[in-house]
């Protein structure tokens, strides 16, 4: 190789390295092992708890309402079966966008998201079509739909290489996609608490 060829090769090498350093990586880093474990544990917990809370209940117990404006247990499970497919589609859409959390700050901490699942003091009104709790009038059908999607989401959590922390979710109060995934599960946890409240009502049918 002569001097000119060597010079040209070195020049192209420098240019290539410079471009690689300046252009953002096309693929974000995968989810950390801690983030994966925390999501997995919470999803498995709430999936199991929903099934446990409705197991063995009679039709009278499933349809009981403490007051006419409250949901029954059957309606709560129907709500989860209606809402979670929308939440899952939303997060898939957000993850397809370019990573954008580098210059943004989440409106909530991870602890805030976890607290949302526990705090039943503040009640929020359901909307967006998710209030159509009679979509599934049969508990078995609603629970089956809920569990089938949960199996898909749990498998995603176990296997994905998506950097969910790098993608934002929401317009007004921005959080990252990992937090929104967690909120899908903490949202179910809120409704598990709601089911427990119904079962603890003094007028809840004995059988």
CATH number of the CATH domain containing 101: 1.20.120.450
Does position 7 have pLDDT exceeding 80, yes or no? Answer: no
Look at residue 131 in the predicted model and tell me its pLDDT. 59
Distance between CA atoms of residues 174 and 105, nearest Å: 7
Chain centre to alpha carbon of residue 6: 55
On whether residue 128 sits in a domain, the answer given is yes
Cβ-contact 194, 120 below 8 angstroms: yes
On whether residue 17 sits in a domain, the answer given is no
CA-wise closest residue to 53 among 197, 204, 192: 192
Does position 46 have pLDDT exceeding 70, yes or no? Answer: yes
Distance between CA atoms of residues 117 and 49, nearest Å: 13
On whether residue 154 sits in a domain, the answer given is yes
Q: Percentage of the chain with pLDDT > 70?
A: 80
SS3 184: helix
**DSSP-assigned states of every residue in 87-99:** HHHHHHHHHHSPP
Look at residue 17 in the predicted model and tell me its pLDDT. 33
Distance between CA atoms of residues 139 and 81, nearest Å: 10
What is the mean pLDDT of the segment spanning 111-126? 77
**What are 158-204's pLDDT values in tens digits?**
999 999 999 999 988 899 999 999 999 999 999 999 999 999 999 99
Read off the tokens for 195.
């089911």
CA-wise closest residue to 176 among 117, 98, 107, 90: 107
On whether residue 22 sits in a domain, the answer given is no
On whether residue 170 sits in a domain, the answer given is yes
SS3 168: strand
CA-wise closest residue to 56 among 153, 199, 180, 200: 199
Strand partners, 168: 176
On whether residue 21 sits in a domain, the answer given is no
**Residue-number span of the structural domain to which 183 is assigned:** 32-199
Distance between CA atoms of residues 95 and 99, nearest Å: 8
**What are 149-166's pLDDT values in tens digits?**
999 999 999 999 999 999
Does position 10 have pLDDT exceeding 90, yes or no? Answer: no
Which of the pair, 73 or 118, is modelled with greater confidence? 73
**What are 67-104's pLDDT values in tens digits?**
999 999 999 999 999 999 999 999 999 999 999 999 89
Work out the mean pLDDT of the chain and round it to a whole number. Answer: 85
Strand partners, 175: 169
On whether residue 97 sits in a domain, the answer given is yes
> What is the domain count for the chain?
1
Look at residue 182 in the predicted model and tell me its pLDDT. 97
């Amino acid at each position: 190789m002569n001097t000119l060829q060597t010079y040209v090769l070195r020049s192209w090498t420098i240019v290539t390295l410079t471009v690689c350093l300046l252009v953002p990586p096309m693929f974000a880093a995968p989810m950390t092992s801690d983030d994966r474990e925390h999501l997995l544990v919470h999803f498995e917990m709430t999936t199991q708890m929903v099934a446990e809370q409705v197991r063995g209940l009679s039709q009278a117990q499933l349809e009981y309402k403490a007051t006419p404006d409250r949901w029954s247990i059957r309606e709560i499970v129907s709500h989860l079966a209606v809402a979670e497919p929308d939440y899952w589609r939303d997060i898939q859409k957000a993850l397809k966008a370019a990573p954008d959390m580098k210059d943004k700050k989440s409106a909530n901490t991870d602890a805030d998201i976890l607290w949302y699942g526990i705090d039943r003091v503040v009640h929020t009104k359901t909307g967006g079509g998710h209030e159509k709790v009679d979509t599934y009038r049969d508990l078995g059908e609603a629970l089956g739909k809920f569990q089938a999607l949960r199996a898909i989401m749990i498998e995603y959590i176990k296997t994905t290489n998506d950097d969910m922390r790098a993608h934002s979710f929401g317009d007004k109060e921005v959080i990252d996609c990992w937090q929104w995934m967690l909120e899908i599960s903490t949202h179910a946890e809120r409704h598990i608490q709601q089911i427990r409240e119904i079962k603890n009502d003094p007028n809840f049918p004995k059988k």
